[in-house]
Amino acid sequence: MDPRTGLTHFDEEGQAIMVDVSGKQETSRTAIATGRIKVNQAVYDAIEQGTAKKGDVLGVARVAGIMAAKSTSSVIPLCHPLPIAKCSVDFTMLPGECAVEAKATVKVTGQTGVEMEALHSVSVALLTIYDMCKAIDKRMEIQYIHLDKKTGGKSGEFIR
């Protein structure tokens, strides 16, 4: 930990490091993250009716989100590789807002939390929706990605 800032991802000289979790006790940990993608009516209809030319948009986005949770440590430099016990990605169609909400729930028993895995999962799921629908409209907006809840570990429970 950098004594000047209190940040754990830096050593005394200010160099980036992976936090040493070897002395931490394994606990059950869960993180839930959400985000949404705002689309136009044509994209919304294609997703809802399953008529997008690239196929089942939400099915593919779900698998992409799960894969993302499992590979977070290979994308975020200082994240620990974790043995993910569960990852689910669910979608809610929001007709009044012409948007799709993605929600990722990630669980692990380990020495460090899964917040980054849940956030990464939601981000990639939403990016996949964009990719699968960009031929219809490129003005989609990915919005409001955030951590809703986390449990376990030394810091305990967080609810947004």
Residue 12 assigned as binding residue: no
Residue 82 assigned as binding residue: no
90 is catalytic: no
Please give the order of strands across the beta sheet that includes 158-159: 86-94, 99-110, 27-38, 141-151, 158-159
Q: Please state, in angstroms and rounded to a whole number, the distance separating the CA atoms of residues 64 and 114.
A: 17
- DSSP per-residue codes, 1-24: --TTT--TTB-TTS-B-----TTS
Residue 147 assigned as binding residue: no
Residue 13 assigned as binding residue: no
Residue 116 assigned as binding residue: yes
Query: Exactly one of 45, 131, 137, 148 is catalytic; which is it?
Result: 131
State the binding site. 78-80, 116-117
Which positions are annotated as active-site residues? 131
State the binding site for substrate. 78-80, 116-117
